[in-house]
Amino acid sequence: MGGATVLAERIAERRAGLGDPRELVGELRRALVLVPLDSEGLWTAEFGGVRWICAFTDEAALARFARARDAAGGDTGREAGGAWEFAELRGARLLDEIVPALGVPAGVAVDIADPEGAMAFPPVRGIVPDDVAIDGPPDGPTPSPPHGPTAASGPAGGGDAR
């Protein structure tokens, strides 16, 4: 599947303290990932005030997730043990189009049923568009003062987490 194997390898590197986080984000952007579907569209989960789009690097990872959900009692409107429908989407589309369209702080959680292989891509600058990142200023980017940033300009990155 388009780059998802490489994505899983990059996740393993980062979890081991190796690799460049920017390369990992780039790998997610290039990868084709599987996203489960429910009656309302893409399957998401709420945690910590963030809506997480759950994505998987391959069908085996999605199957582990489905088994875990079924063991926990399944999902409303879906028969336990039944087949899971999914969409195959490029990570860039998730980050650049779908996350902003949700209208709430949202990120992508990859392979969440794999304790040793899961990785979260939170809604912060450098991962999602700046205008929907929770670490950006509430009214868009704040220009630097004419002579560059100063301590009086506020925290780096402007604004606070919402």
pLDDT, residue 2, reads 58
Q: What are the beta bridge partners of residue 107? A: 52
Full-model pTM:
0.78
Residue 80 pLDDT: 58
Q: Are 102 and 110 in contact (CB under 8 A)?
A: no
Model pLDDT for residues 34-48, shown as the tens digit of each residue: 999 988 899 999 999
Measured between its terminal Cα atoms, the distance across the chain in Å is 36
Burial class from Cβ neighbours inside 10 Å (0-12, 13-18, 19+) for residue 60 reads: exposed
Q: How far apart are CA 58 and CA 72, in angstroms?
A: 22
Pair of tokens at residue 119: 């990785």
Query: What is the β-pairing status of strands 106-110 and 50-55?
Result: parallel
Report the amino acid identity of residue 24. Answer: L
Domain ranges of the chain: 4-136
Model confidence pLDDT, tens digit, residues 8-33: 999 999 999 999 999 999 999 999 99
What is the residue-averaged pLDDT of the chain?
82
Q: What is the pLDDT of residues 93-146, one digit of tens each?
A: 999 999 999 999 999 999 999 988 999 999 999 999 999 999 965 554 444 334
pLDDT at 153: 31
